[in-house]
A and B are shown apart, each in its own frame.
Chain A
Amino acid sequence: GENVEQHPSTLSVQEGDSAVIKCTYSDSASNYFPWYKQELGKRPQLIIDIRSNVGEKKDQRIAVTLNKTAKHFSLHITETQPEDSAVYFCAASMGSNTGKLIFGQGTTLQVKP
């Protein structure tokens, strides 16, 4: 079945450094790729998303890149801050149904002050 692989599972960076999280997906029909930030015990919060007709999208310190041919997409956070510490999940839509998402395993990001 469809699968999303996410790496690394944990990531520790110094404040101000950049953080990169990578995901690969298996369903070539997937066309929607959101990234979520989840703090302990809380709901996932959408931080950025990208659709298959776009290769890159940026929002202030956060950017996402998509390589459809290779079926992988990445989250880039620049100038990291301690409040960026959380679990980050990538997700891919099941085919073109943007409501049905397959989530990656999650990356625990720790930003050290």
Chain B
Amino acid sequence: GAVVSQHPSWVICKSGTSVKIECRSLDFQATTMFWYRQFPKQSLMLMATSNEGSKATYEQGVEKDKFLINHASLTLSTLTVTSAHPEDSSFYICSARAIYGGGELFFGEGSRLTVL
């Protein structure tokens, strides 16, 4: 199946710093990628839809100025957590859907962020 890669897989940072997470579709092009957040023992919550060449659309309650999303190419979307705080510590997972195909989503490996 298609491969979506995330980097880094885990990161520890200090409060107030910014962290960038990359999501790449390795063997297909994706005009749209999705960013989810998952707290321990909880479900995945959709944060935003990343659109290639245009602004991301955010779900209700998600601060767009805190979670900056850039989708500069058909294979790369980045999520930047700005001025991170301990409550931002979570598992961030991206997903992508190929331009062609039946609509199946492919998930990245996830990035575990710990803010001290």
Contacts and interface: CB of A to CB of B under 8 A. Distances in A.
Contacts of A42: 109-110
Interface string A71-105: 00000000000000000010000000011111111
8 contacts: A43-B93, A43-B109, A45-B107, A98-B105, A99-B32, A99-B95, A99-B103, A105-B43
B60 interface: yes
A99 B49 contact: yes
A62 B97 CA distance: 24
Interface residues of A, number: 20
Interface residues of B, number: 21
Interface of A: 1, 32, 34, 41-46, 49, 89, 98-106
A106 B42 contact: yes
B74 interface: no
